[in-house]
Amino acid sequence: MATVASTTAVTSTFRVARITPLGELLAPPRITANLLRIAVQTVLVVALWRGLYVEVAPGTMAGLTREQAVSYAVLAVLATRVRGLDRYASRDTVIQHLHFGTIIYWFLRPVPPRRYYALRALGDQLYGLMWLIIGYALCLVAEVVQPPGSPTIAGVAALSLLLGQWVLYYVMLLIDLLCFWTLRNQAALLLLVFAQNLLSGVYAPLWYFPDWFITMSAFLPFQATLAVPLSLYIGRLPPTDALPQLALQAGWLLLLAVLTRLLWHRAARRVVSQGG
pLDDT of residue 91: 72
How many angstroms separate the CA atoms of 259 and 255, rounded?
6
Three-state secondary structure readout of 149-183: CCHHHHHHHHHHHHHHHHHHHHHHHHHHHCHHHHC
DSSP state of 146: P
With CA atoms as reference, report the closest residue to 168 among 239, 229, 77, 241: 229
**Pick from 48-57, 147-156, 190-199: least confident:** 48-57
pLDDT band at 4 (very low <50, low <70, confident <90, very high): very low
Q: What pLDDT digit, counting tens, does each position of 11-68 carry?
A: 667 777 777 777 777 777 878 888 888 889 999 999 999 888 887 756 678 788 889 9
Which runs of consecutive H residues, i.e. helices, occur in the chain? 2-17, 19-25, 28-52, 66-79, 94-100, 104-108, 113-141, 151-177, 179-182, 186-200, 211-218, 227-234, 242-270
Is the pLDDT assigned to residue 161 strictly greater than 60?
yes
**Pick from 27-36, 160-169, 246-255: least confident:** 27-36
Beta carbons of 57 and 162 less than 8 angstroms apart? no
Percentage of residues in the chain having pLDDT higher than 90: 34
Mean pLDDT of the chain: 84
How distant is the alpha carbon of residue 253 from its chain centre?
14
Beta carbons of 174 and 84 less than 8 angstroms apart? no
pLDDT of residue 273: 60
Considering 208-212, 218-222, 253-257, the range whose residues carry the highest mean pLDDT is 253-257
Three-state secondary structure call for residue 215: helix
- For residues 173-192, b (16+ Cβ closer than 10 Å) or e, as one string? bebbbbbbeeeebeeebeeb
Q: Domain segments of the chain: what residues?
A: 8-270
φ/ψ bin of 237: left (φ > 0), alpha (ψ from -120 to 50), beta (otherwise): beta
- Give the Cα-Cα-Cα angle 34, 80, 113 (nearest 5 degrees): 95
Mean pLDDT of 89-114: 81
Is the pLDDT assigned to residue 139 strictly greater than 80?
yes
What's the first-to-final CA gap in the chain, in angstroms? 32
Q: Across-strand partners of 61?
A: 64
